[in-house]
Every structure is written in C-alpha cells, then in structure tokens.
Structure 1
Amino acid sequence: MSRFPVNPFLLVIFGLAVIGLGYQLVTDPIGFLTYILVGTAVAAGLYLLFTRVLMKRSPVNQFQKTGDSKTANSRDAASYKKYQKAVKQQNKNKSSQKGSPRASGKRRKDHNLTVIEGRKNRKKNRALF
C-alpha cells in the first residue's frame, strides 16, 4: 500500500493537463516552446522583483541574519574558546578532589515546605464547587 493516498480528483486534473500539454506539443511545438519560455521569464521576473526590490524595502527582514557575519563568527569562536577553558578547569578541579565515589552524590537538602494550619472543623459549601 502506498504511503501517500492518491486523490482521484487530482489524478484526473493532472492527467488532463498532461494530455493537453502533449496535444499542444504535437500540434504546435513552436507555440508550446514560446509558452514555456514566457512562463519561465515571468517566474524569473517575479523572483527578482521580490528578492531584490521588495525584500530590501521591508523594515524587518526576517530572512537575513542581523549583523556582520565575520564579526559574529569571530565572537562565537572567542566565546567557544573561553567555554573550552572553563570546562578544562572544571574537569581538572573534579579530578583533583579526593573522596569516595559515593561522596560525589551529595545528600539532598530538606525541602522548605511548611504546613499551614487552617480551620479543619468548618464545613465546606459544596454549592460553590
């Protein structure tokens, strides 16, 4: 069984489209090529219009990174080096500590919850629930 079920309506539509394109290719090949070239030119024009003109005019461009990528990469590299040094220092401190393996699993602190005394003898009004 197929992973994607095929809708019969879409199958008929695509079948008619293929038959129509094939008929136009057989009867008028020059018109077919002109149709394809004009469609490609319109699609390329719309793409350039949106990417070059309209996207630059928008005040908040969500598709491009903010800031200079070279400075961002250098900042990331510097922070990564600092992180690596900190991790090495922590590992060195852990290895230098003496004690049994059980000592590393320290006992948990008691919780700081308290019991609040209230009116226990008062009957609850069940109508409010």
Structure 2
Amino acid sequence: MTDDAYLFLVDALPGPGWQGTPVSLVGELECLETPAVRAWLDAHETDATSAALRIAPPEQTGMIPEEAERLPVPLDGEELERVRRAGATDPVALVEEELLTYRDTEEGRDALLRKALAAGVPVHRIVELSGVDPTALPSTPRP
C-alpha cells in the first residue's frame, strides 16, 4: 500500500471487475491543476472530465488493473474523504455518513458500531469516522 492516491485510465467501459471511481464523481481536486497531472493527461490525450479517468485512494491502489496507465497524486484530508465516499457502495456510504454524525452524540453507539461492521466498513474507517476507541468495537457484527 502507498500513501498516495492514484489517478489511472481504464480502457473498456464498463468492464468486469473493479474500475475505480470516476474523477467526475469526486468533484474538484487541487492535484488536477498541477503541471505534472496536466502534462500526464495531455500525454494520454485526455482531460479531467473523461469517463476513463479514475481515482483510487491509497488503500485501494493494489486493485488498479496492472495494465492501466497510472499516476500517484497527493490529496488533502477533505479530498481523500470525498474520494472514499464517492467510491463506497451505497450501504457503506450511508453507514459512513452515520458514523460521522455519531461524533456529536453517543446515542445508539453499540447498534451503530454493529451496523457498520455488518455493512463491511473496515475497522480502521469506523475508528477514523466515529472517533471510537478500537477496543470498544464489538468483536463480531450482529444484525
């Protein structure tokens, strides 16, 4: 795993398997205006609005197809959160939003933590979004 997110290009749309998150779903990213990214896009005769331009957060870079053209890009914390949310499945995205809201209240804590685990939200994301101590998480998700 790397600390950088990666921009990459996919050839066939839609194709089987993981295709990453279209940059157009994420919104504006500062890195898209840097000379390095603009030169990379120009070299591949594409731009930031292309349906073939995708982005992967650091924890998903191992899933980028080996043959894909790729470029590491730094993202700030807010941009990285938008990339992660844009690429999350609907159930995971909904639970992650609840975890962010949870920071302001303790009501329903255990039920929400179980729900997040059952939805497949990774433990590190639950801790990051909710601020809960990892040892406070239930050991097994319950419905």
> By percentage of residues, which structure has more strand?
2
Shorter-chain TM-score above 0.5:
no
TM-score in terms of structure 1 length:
0.20
> By percentage of residues, which structure has more helix?
1
TM-score in terms of structure 2 length:
0.19
Q: Could you say which structure has the greater relative contact order, defined with CA pairs below 8 angstroms and 6 or more residues apart?
A: 2
Query: Which of the two has higher C-alpha Rg?
Result: 1
